[in-house]
Amino acid sequence: MAHIPEFLGNTPTNHHFAPRLWDTMMQQDDPVAKRLASAARDSMVWTQETLTVFVCRGPDGTIGVELGPAGVTPEHGDLHVMVHKIHAGSRAAEEGVLRPCDVIVGVDGINCGEGATFFEVMADLPPNKPYYEWTIRRSTAVPTPRAN
């Protein structure tokens, strides 16, 4: 597992699994939870956009996010990371440019999918840099129109 730099703030205790809400609900033994999860998934269309955002360090030197794998793909392995949590009161929370489930695909113009992980790219940048330009992929659920 890649070392997670201190400047990102507290790190999650489990970096290996970031399930979506309905996946978590589908794993429950409760049949009502499974029906609700299935209905929610089937009533949404997911859109995806790529954004460039500036992420700054706070006075404590951290950004204030917890990151973990965005999922392993055959072509890229585990190169991208996902924002799992934004800490209340952190610089990231104050700025509001990141959201949980944002996938970080690039840093300062360097693509994290070209053989280097996010953490390797960040490690090669100057230490204590006050801000970074992150390219993120954001998925948004849009309700599907109901047929009359």
Lookup result for tokens 């978590």: 24
Question: Which whole-number Å values give the CA distances from 58 to 54, 96, 105, 130, 133, in the listed order?
Answer: 13, 13, 22, 8, 15
- The pLDDT score that the predictor gives to residue 2 is 40
Contacts of 94 (CB under 8 A, 6+ apart): 58
Question: Taking the model in full, what pTM does it have?
Answer: 0.65
- The pLDDT score that the predictor gives to residue 13 is 33
- The pLDDT score that the predictor gives to residue 18 is 33
The rounded average pLDDT for each run of 10 residues, N- to C-terminus, in the chain (148 residues) is 41 35 56 68 77 93 87 59 91 93 90 80 87 91 68
- The pLDDT score that the predictor gives to residue 11 is 37
Give, for 140, the enclosing helix (H) or strand (E). strand 131-143
CA atoms of 139 and 148, how far apart (whole Å) = 28
